[in-house]
Amino acid sequence: MSRVSIENVSKLYDGSGDGEGKIVAVDGVTLDIEDGEFLTIVGPSGSGKSTLLRMVAGLEDISSGTIRIGDRVVNDIQPQDRGVAMVFQNYALYPHMSTRKNMAYGLKLTSDLSDDEVQQRVEEAAEMMGIEDQLGKKPGSLSGGQQQRVATGRAIVRDPEVFLMDEPLSNLDAKLRAHMRTEIQRIHEELGTTFIYVTHDQEEAMTMSDRVAILNHGEVQQIGTPDEIYNEP
């Protein structure tokens, strides 16, 4: 697990090319996420949540500012070398690969673990997510809930210092979403890892987080415990 520190980070995108100039997606955000903390980022659509998370993941260049994971500045470090693993809203599973392969593939490419070690990690993560029986199946034959579990299992396999989750439950129905909330909380407790979790669902923010940061127009508008954010007058 690791502390993440985001220091005065901005992201500017080019506008539509018709002279509208730059779009400021993230505007001077400073956030310190403690070792082992579960931080949720909420805010309206277009407020910059995804962009901020993708910059921590290394999937998006940083326009200005500094991101540290542990004591390393990661601005110019490749995604696979940052000690992070990300779970996407659409799961981003490879449709032609079995669950087992989906979970093993990234780790095989980017680590020097032996096949046996990779398989052992896959089996442990599958057990943790309750998908041992799905290892031979391809994503197309799994339910949405099961695909979500595979995506989370694939992140666990990487043994990251920091988990990044971008609306991981928003494609599930309400009951399954509620169930998966408790599952993700359990994973966080078992691993003790730092989590940065993006959602637009207030229920998720209230029940899962140590702290909640509210983003608006690319800026942190408010940060505090769920109680401070949602229950204080």
**Residues in contact with ligand ADP by the rule CB under 6 A:** 13, 23, 25, 43, 45-51, 143, 145-146, 149, 173, 175-176, 179
CB of 176 to ligand ADP, least distance (A): 4
CB of 115 to ligand ADP, least distance (A): 26
CB of 13 to ligand ADP, least distance (A): 3
- Sheet architecture: strand order including 162-166: 84-87, 162-166, 194-198, 38-42, 211-216, 219-224
Tokens 């940052």 sit on residue:
82
CB of 53 to ligand ADP, least distance (A): 8
CB of 125 to ligand ADP, least distance (A): 14
Q: Which is nearer to ligand ADP, 72 or 186 (CB)?
A: 186
Rounded CA gap, 200 and 180, in Å?
Answer: 16
Q: Going by C-beta distance under 8 Å and a sequence separation of 6 or more, which residues neighbour residue 56?
A: 4, 6, 67, 69, 74, 84, 162, 164, 196
CB of 56 to ligand ADP, least distance (A): 12
Gyration radius (Cα) of the chain, Å: 18
Q: Which is nearer to ligand ADP, 4 or 214 (CB)?
A: 214
Q: 155 with 163: CB under 8 angstroms?
A: yes
Residue 45, Cβ density class (10 Å: 0-12 exposed, 13-18 middle, ≥19 buried): exposed
Q: Which is nearer to ligand ADP, 113 or 176 (CB)?
A: 176
Q: Which is nearer to ligand ADP, 2 or 50 (CB)?
A: 50
Q: Which is nearer to ligand ADP, 107 or 142 (CB)?
A: 142
Q: Which is nearer to ligand ADP, 2 or 147 (CB)?
A: 147
Distance from the Cα of residue 173 to its chain's centroid: 20
